[in-house]
Amino acid sequence: MAKDKKCAHPACNCQAKEGSDYCSNYCETAGGTAEIQCNCGHPDCSIRSGA
Ligand SMILES: [Zn+2]
Ligand SMILES: [Zn+2]
């Protein structure tokens, strides 16, 4: 299960991409900031637009 790495963004629940600590460019950019919500656009993180 070594591949099962979570995105390094504190507020992100996505799986990190292979070879990266983050799931997306968004998280890679925002990973250093302590955001309360992730806006990477992945379904796992779009808690506001839950249908
Ligand atoms: Zn996310
Ligand atoms: Zn992420």
22 is written with which tokens?
Answer: 């983050």
- Taking 50 as the threshold, does the pLDDT of residue 50 lie above it? no
Which residues have a beta carbon within 5 Å of ligand 2, which is an ion? Answer: 7, 9, 12, 14, 23, 27, 40
pLDDT grade, residue 51 (50/70/90)?
A: very low
pLDDT 10s digits, 1-47: 456 899 998 888 899 999 999 999 999 998 677 777 888 988 878 75
SS3 of 1-51: CCCCCECCCCCCCCECCCCCCCCCHHHHHHCCCCCCCCCCCCCCCCCCCCC
Does this model's pTM top 0.75? My answer is: no
| CB-based contacts of 2, cutoff 8 Å, min separation 6 | none
Ligand nearest to the CA of 16: 2
Q: Where are the domains of the chain?
A: 1-51
Ligand nearest to the CA of 24: 2
- 23 CA to centre of ligand 2 in angstroms: 4
2 is written with which tokens?
Answer: 């070594």
pLDDT grade, residue 48 (50/70/90)?
A: low
